[in-house]
């Protein structure tokens, strides 16, 4: 399976280019809105990739910014690509924030993940994923749980495609000791984790309880890196009420430094495998 392009990333890249071109034209969002007969909110949402934008509207913005023909065609092609649907749309009405995350993940070349409570989604077995998802969707119908499980399993193809995602996962010891779904679910999950850790594109480290306090006590995060220089890194943070995408360069640098500190405090990959195997045997 080859890496597939993501309309989410295309839309993000287009938004970045439109912001840059507006700045070059020395126009404010309000001035653009006034000249195009739009609201300032519409321009802002386009530039922050909060909404999709049709090629016709992109063309109007490019005319206003006096963009040359070659660049114009490049961006119009990008706008058309951004309108395509990702594979995840085949699963029905996925929440917007989750769809945005899947789109970014689908295009990423590498991911650094810190998981303090549970095994990361890309490394979960089907039964473990079902137990996790069911616990978070306690008032949802069983069909919704199964649909989410299917999507999570489909996402894992990223680790085995022709150009696989490079995943570096640091798990707090709690993530391998917390018995999700009972022993009959947890032992196969730990076996699967050991199998995945043997893949050349997957690195797993365990941060032991003995490491004590660390810089990421506030919770889980992921740093996604993309193959195109035009697509800057993104930090993804999720909480009970929503998701946060962090794109400011100084913030991304801070999260990268935190990950490096965690990596230094964690057991090395071989020690981590031994601890996971020991935990499974207990």
DSSP secondary structure of 223-239: EEE-SSTTS--EEEEEE
CA distance readout (Å), 238 to 15, 93, 276: 23, 20, 26
CATH of 96-281 given 3.40.50, 1.10.287, 1.10.620, 3.30.870: 3.30.870
* pLDDT reported for residue 3: 42
Question: And the tokens for 123?
Answer: 């490394």
* pLDDT reported for residue 140: 67
Q: Which of 130-136's residues contact partners 24+ apart within 8 Å by CB, and which partners?
A: 130/181, 131/180, 131/181, 131/185, 132/180
Question: In the sheet that 110-115 helps form, which strands lie side by side, from edge to edge?
Answer: 202-207, 166-172, 110-115, 221-225, 234-239, 242-246
User: If you average pLDDT over residues 103-126, what whole number do you get?
Assistant: 95
User: If you average pLDDT over residues 256-261, what whole number do you get?
Assistant: 97
pLDDT category at 88 given cuts 50, 70, 90 is confident
Q: Cα–Cα distance between 69 and 73 in angstroms, integer?
A: 6
> Does 139 score more than 70 pLDDT?
no
* pLDDT reported for residue 137: 75
* pLDDT reported for residue 9: 79
- Burial label for 208, CB within 10 Å (0-12, 13-18, 19+), is middle
CATH 3.30.870 in the chain, residue ranges? 96-281
125 vs 47, residue with greater confidence: 125
CATH 1.10.260.40 in the chain, residue ranges? 7-82
Beta-carbon contacts of 220 under 8 Å, excluding residues fewer than 6 positions away, are 113, 114, 115, 116, 117, 237, 238
* 7-82 fold: 434 Repressor (Amino-terminal Domain) (1.10.260)
> Does 4 score more than 80 pLDDT?
no
pLDDT category at 205 given cuts 50, 70, 90 is very high
For the chain, what is the mean pLDDT?
A: 90
pLDDT category at 1 given cuts 50, 70, 90 is very low
User: If you average pLDDT over residues 35-49, what whole number do you get?
Assistant: 92
Q: Cα–Cα distance between 109 and 192 in angstroms, integer?
A: 22
User: If you average pLDDT over residues 68-80, what whole number do you get?
Assistant: 90
- Burial label for 187, CB within 10 Å (0-12, 13-18, 19+), is middle
> Tokens 């309108």 — which residue?
83
Q: How many residues does the chain have?
A: 282
């Amino acid at each position: 399976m080859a890496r597939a392009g993501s309309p989410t990333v295309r839309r993000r890249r287009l938004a970045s280019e439109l912001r840059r071109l507006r700045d070059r034209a020395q126009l404010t969002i309000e001035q653009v809105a006034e000249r195009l007969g739009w609201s300032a909110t519409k321009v802002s949402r386009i530039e922050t990739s909060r909404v999709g934008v049709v090629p016709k509207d992109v063309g109007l913005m490019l005319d206003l910014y006096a963009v040359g023909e070659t660049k114009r065609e490049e961006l119009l092609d990008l706008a058309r690509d951004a309108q395509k649907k990702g594979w995840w749309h085949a699963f029905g009405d996925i929440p917007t924030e989750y769809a945005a995350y899947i789109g970014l993940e689908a295009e990423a070349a590498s991911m650094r993940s810190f998981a303090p409570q549970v095994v990361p989604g890309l490394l979960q077995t089907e039964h473990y994923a079902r137990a996790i998802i069911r616990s978070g969707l306690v008032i949802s119908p069983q069909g919704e749980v199964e649909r989410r499980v299917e999507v999570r399993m489909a996402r894992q193809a990223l680790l085995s495609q022709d150009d696989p995602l490079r995943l570096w996962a640091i798990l707090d010891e709690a993530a391998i000791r917390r018995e999700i779904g009972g022993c009959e679910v947890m032992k196969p999950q730990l076996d699967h984790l050991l199998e995945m850790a043997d893949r050349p594109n997957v690195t797993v480290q365990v941060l032991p309880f003995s490491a004590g306090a660390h810089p990421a006590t506030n919770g889980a995060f992921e740093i996604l890196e993309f193959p195109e220089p035009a697509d800057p890194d993104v930090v993804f943070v999720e909480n009970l009420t929503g998701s946060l995408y962090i794109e400011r360069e100084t913030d991304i640098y801070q999260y990268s430094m935190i990950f490096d500190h965690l990596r230094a405090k964690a057991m090395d990959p071989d020690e981590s495998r031994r601890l996971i195997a020991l935990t499974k045997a207990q």
